[in-house]
Chains A and B, each alone.
Chain A
Amino acid sequence: MQTDGTLALNDYRALGTPLAWPEAKTKAAQVRTWGIEQLLMIWSRARSKERDALLWGDEVEYLVVALDDEHQKVRLSLRQADILLALAEDEELQANGGCVPDLQNISREYKLPIFHPEFGRFMLESTPGKPWGIGFKDLLKVEPDMRLRRVIAKDHMNANEYPITLTTFPRLGTKDDFICPYYPPSGDKLRSQFVPDEIANPHIRFPTLAANIRSRRGRKVEINVPIFKDKNTAIPWKDPTVDYDLHNWPEDDDVRNGAAKDNFVYMDAMAFGMGSCCLQITFQAKNIREGRTLYDQLSPLGPILLALTAATPIYKGFLVDTDVRWNQISRAVDDRTAEELGEKPLIEDRWRIPKSRYASNSTYIAQDPRLRKEYLDPELVIDEDVKQKLMDGGMDDLLATHFAHLFIRDPIVIFEEDLKTLDLTKTDHFENLQSTNWQHMRFKPPPPNNDIGWRVEFRSMEIQITDFENAAFSVFIVLITRAILSYDLNFYIPVTRTTENMETAHNRDAVLQDKFYFRKDPFPKMERKMDGVSPDTSSPIPASRPSTPSGPIEDEYELMTIDEIVNGKSGGFPGLIPLVENYLNSVNIDIETRCELARYLELIRKRASGEFWTAARWMRHFVRTHSAYNLDSVVPEQICYDLVKAAEKITSEQGKCFGVGREMFKSTKAR
């Protein structure tokens, strides 16, 4: 399944002349206009595309680390390009009948996984060679495939390099040589005082993206994460790594103007956010209607799965007081100007914008009588002209509103060559905006020139340390979508509550300590089924049916713990796991598959109940009980090395470990 937001290897070689910001800005309107024309072309071509199978794909992102066992030190490896090149060469080799030893025993029908570059030059992304189906046996192939991807990746690295799936590198941006090869910080593109330009993928698109975000914003991006206040942490705590006396770039003034805050870890570059690893799942829907339904119904699950997969308690060598990566990425690509942020009166810019380009989503798009207008965001910012154009082109109000919301942004990276003629057989200008709106759900129109259908991407989950966990969460989400469609489940809550939930998910141990807004009763109202009508999502709901739910919306949802949402609440929400179990009980599924799936569901059930720890909790515990830790929030090199080593070991044990990390997979109650 093609993934947006990342580049395919072919693009990687295609070069153009990117416009620097002041010039790009003058072309923004043209790109938007052409993007909308391309969107209307896609819309008219694909709106009636029907009966596509469920195909789905996962994306796993890795950090590439280089271990120096002699000096007990771990660094990020910047050899992404070399590794990808080696992988690409091997792919050709395999096509010609030979390849690395590990691949020689794999059957010929197996399609090799695909590796992609990512923003961070220390990152890799992998996807399956072909999309998964819903055959339950397919679900069991996911985990071995993920393992194999890791083996293949490792085979193309140096002996001391490893692909690890931690969301962030614990000591990215420290004062020491945390990267190899080493480059000093403070380059022209990022202008960061902590990381060099070489931290970003050298493909011109990436440095341009970073530079233009900074330039549009008028200063560096600003990421402040609250410090975890431990016993010996001095309060007020001032980030000791911040240099207030740099004078290389105008942006060096940022810290002198208060960008770094007391009691917060301060970071100043896109790499701190976009260098995070996530687990993303994309589904192909049967048709546009089903795609829109899935987009809406999965949206409230975003923050829940974010809290449940929490794995990010360390930044720049410090324990922080949050557990997940989300807001850091959000701030790392926040290109809003002071006017758009509401810090200055609106003069140049068109509107105040409440969220970063990377944020929880703000729209619902399903043509569904259960979608009450009270669920929509009353403050939603849209480009009325764009909306009008789309509606003139035949698009309905809801979907036009969605895209008119995405199109309030400027395109960031514009290649001069692309502005010569508008090619309506392509989608490049549309994708320019679409794929730089990083919301937690993404609604993806069919790409041109192939048979791919309407797709929905679920983007909030944090990457997990083992492929067992990554497969478990992937399969869980797939099964939830099947339960949603089979039972006509309704998870609607006001979309602004989902935004609040997203914030809540950041709290330390939110998975156990916090409550989230969630709908109490997900089941269809009885009237809908009275005529014995099936829960088919393709046939429009007859207008004669009472479709307007009544009663105050506040009565429809309440605050629940993650445990209640996942495992059910007596007399209340039935629980995501019981819903999935019921689905599995209603379909023909063989014993072996069911047992394997039971392992996955157990992991999720127990992560939610607290019986198993999240990675965030385990890492925090690992640091705090390490002999080199001084209870002062500092994560020194030695701990970082041991932590990465431990993660590598846990990965190799695939969730069956009894040693380090067992709290994530075994009950801790007996101990």
Chain B
Amino acid sequence: MATGPSLIGHRPLFEKSNIELTNSLRTTFASAKSIIQTRSKHQVDGLSSLSAPANTTGTTHPWTSTSASTLSIPSSPFTASPLTEERSSYDITVKLFFLPSAHADAQSRTAHAQEALRLVLDILEAPRIDLLIVSFPGISFDADDDPDSETPESMPPLKRTLTAEDRLVDSVTQTWHSIEELHSKGLVSALGVAEFGSERLERFLPLTKIRPSVDQINVRDCCVVPKTLILYAKDQGIQLLTHNDCTDILPRGTVREILEDVFRDDDAAATAWLQNDITPQWVVKYTAVVRDRGVIENKGYFAMAEVHSI
């Protein structure tokens, strides 16, 4: 399980967000390691006391913390990074990526969404966020734009597409209901989706209690967004925003690579758990922008992966 607080100031800044995230995690880990190792004994003790060895990981690194079956890297909460002005000066946007390798059942996703949002609210010390955008795996605007492209020739195209689309919308809707709850609780002011085409929106909207007010489309395509989507969104009062994120922002292999790199200097026994199956579940990105100055004051990521014995 990995959490990486805000780090935006290192290169390459201008890569896609998956690279930004990966580098952010690497740097956070590295600096956490060096900070804790050189910090006062008192703090190290404080952290150690938290680390009841977890059955799957069994690590007691002073710069990580473990509780139940969760290993937090760095120890969580690392340091709160609160907003410096009143809450009302900011636009806080949070984007939650449900990863392709993750559990897709509604229960897991509900838990993931709650956990992700809690971490963000904690680090920003904010009572609520303005916009929560949810990115679902397997949805990308390109494919939606051209629904027949992935259909094997052997299948009757229409039937196959509808079924897959039905399943997808069904799964999305189930998750959406738990997202709606975050809204009802007052933790989130507005909701959004990413990469929805007009057809999918049309199916999805009637199934929602709280409609998305935002649909985020990859910036790469922003100048060739189909007229139908633009008109439909306008008609439905949905704002089309741009982004530059990958759908699979944190692939399995990347997590392993980062972890192996971080624990490289440790002895084999302590890092035996690295041999286990590591499955990234979700990533959350948060951005706090001072509204009337357009300054990004705070940006960061958290990510969560599960470790299973093979």
Interface residues of A (CB under 8 A from B): 51, 53-54, 133-134, 286, 482, 485-488, 521, 523-524, 526, 528-539, 568, 574-575, 578-579, 581-592, 594-595, 598
B5 within 8 A of A: yes
Which of B8, B31, B85 has the most chain A CB within a 10 Å cutoff? B8
A594–B230 CA distance with the chains assembled, in angstroms: 14
Stretch from B65-73, B76-84, B199-207, B273-281 that touches the partner = B76-84
B209 within 8 A of A: no
B272 within 8 A of A: no
B27 within 8 A of A: yes
B42 within 8 A of A: no
Given A134-B292, A574-B11, A590-B242, also A535-B297 (CB < 8 A) = yes
Stretch from B47-55, B148-156, B169-177, B217-225 that touches the partner = B217-225
Residues of B within 8 A of A586 (CB): 8, 287, 296, 299
B59 within 8 A of A: no
- B56-99 contact mask (Cβ, 8 Å, vs A): 1 or 0: 00000000000000000000001111011100010101000000
Residues of A within 8 A of B106 (CB): none
Residues of A within 8 A of B8 (CB): 486-487, 529, 535, 586
- B120-139 contact mask (Cβ, 8 Å, vs A): 1 or 0: 00010000000100000000
A588–B93 CA distance with the chains assembled, in angstroms: 8
Q: Verify B91–A53 contact, CB threshold 8 A.
A: no
Q: Verify B14–A581 contact, CB threshold 8 A.
A: yes
A533–B85 CA distance with the chains assembled, in angstroms: 14
Q: Verify A482–B295 contact, CB threshold 8 A.
A: yes
A585–B84 CA distance with the chains assembled, in angstroms: 23
Q: Verify A594–B222 contact, CB threshold 8 A.
A: yes
Residues of B within 8 A of A523 (CB): 9-11, 13
Residue of A nearest to B93 (CB): A588
Q: Verify A574–B293 contact, CB threshold 8 A.
A: no
Residues of B within 8 A of A585 (CB): 17, 219, 242-244
Picked from A53, A579, A595, the residue with its CB within 8 Å of the CB of B293 is: A53
Q: What are 7 sample pairs from A and B whose C-beta atoms fall under 8 A apart?
A: A529-B7, A532-B300, A535-B296, A585-B243, A587-B287, A591-B217, A594-B242
Residue of B nearest to A139 (CB): B294
Q: Verify A582–B14 contact, CB threshold 8 A.
A: yes
Picked from B9, B93, B287, B293, the residue with its CB within 8 Å of the CB of A54 is: B293
Residue of A nearest to B290 (CB): A286
Picked from B85, B222, B241, B293, the residue with its CB within 8 Å of the CB of A485 is: B293
A536–B11 CA distance with the chains assembled, in angstroms: 19
Q: Verify A530–B31 contact, CB threshold 8 A.
A: yes
Picked from A524, A534, A588, A594, the residue with its CB within 8 Å of the CB of B297 is: A534
A533–B223 CA distance with the chains assembled, in angstroms: 36
A46–B14 CA distance with the chains assembled, in angstroms: 37
Given A532-B6, A534-B84, A590-B239, also A486-B14 (CB < 8 A) = no
B35 within 8 A of A: yes
A524–B31 CA distance with the chains assembled, in angstroms: 14
Which of B31, B78, B240, B296 has the most chain A CB within a 10 Å cutoff? B296
Q: Verify A487–B13 contact, CB threshold 8 A.
A: yes
Q: Verify B294–A54 contact, CB threshold 8 A.
A: yes
Residues of B within 8 A of A535 (CB): 8-9, 296-298
Q: A53-B293, A534-B298 are in contact. List 7 more A-B contacts (CB 8 A).
A: A529-B9, A530-B35, A532-B300, A535-B8, A568-B14, A589-B242, A591-B222
A536–B290 CA distance with the chains assembled, in angstroms: 10
A524–B10 CA distance with the chains assembled, in angstroms: 7
Q: Verify B292–A574 contact, CB threshold 8 A.
A: no
A539–B298 CA distance with the chains assembled, in angstroms: 13
Residues of A within 8 A of B294 (CB): 54, 134, 482, 587
Given A535-B8, A538-B84, A574-B12, also A587-B296 (CB < 8 A) = yes
Residues of B within 8 A of A590 (CB): 239-242
A313 to chain B, nearest CB (A): 34
A533–B217 CA distance with the chains assembled, in angstroms: 30
A448–B214 CA distance with the chains assembled, in angstroms: 43
A603 to chain B, nearest CB (A): 15
Q: Verify A536–B84 contact, CB threshold 8 A.
A: yes
Residues of B within 8 A of A579 (CB): 13-14
Residues of A within 8 A of B298 (CB): 534-536
A524–B289 CA distance with the chains assembled, in angstroms: 19
A530–B219 CA distance with the chains assembled, in angstroms: 31
Given A134-B292, A587-B296, also A526-B287 (CB < 8 A) = no
Residue of A nearest to B5 (CB): A532
A573 to chain B, nearest CB (A): 10
